[in-house]
Amino acid sequence: TDVVHEIGDGIGMQHTMAVVCQGNCSSVYADRKLIERIITNLLSNAIKYSPVGSTIEVDAVCEVTRIVLRVRDQGIGIPDDDQSRLFEAFHRARNVDHISGTGLGLAIVKQAVELHGGEVSFTSQLGKGTIFTVILPNLAVKEMLS
């Protein structure tokens, strides 16, 4: 939640951050830098592509074997034609011409998630927003079994 609050107090000041954590997230064993990179990029995009005053929802569910992180925005959404290439470096959706960016954020998210042995997916509707879901293994279980 520290990363969420830092971003909320910085670039997200014009949005409402709704954060919900379920489970025992204090006993999660994961690479902190990778988690921060994932959250930072997903939140930055949610803020960038959502109208001022809208709510960005962040849900973290910490289970014994996995961590599920969801970032939901009320933004412009991702056109169907762009969805298959969304995680490619330098690819930007057609509807973001007026919004600055490099097209690297989601490629970084995908790489960080894969380095952690997890998976990332999303659903999106034009004009209604996007939900990114990241599922990471809770490495504490792996550590206990080793």
The predicted-structure confidence for 44-71, as pLDDT tens digits, reads as follows 999 999 999 999 999 989 888 888 999 9
Are 40 and 3 in contact by the 8 Å Cβ rule? The answer is yes
pTM as predicted: 0.84
How far, in Å, CA of 110 to CA of 128, rounded? 23
The SS3 call for residue 108 is helix
Q: Is the dihedral of CA 59, 64, 67, 70 positive or negative?
A: negative
Q: What percent of the chain has pLDDT over 70?
A: 80
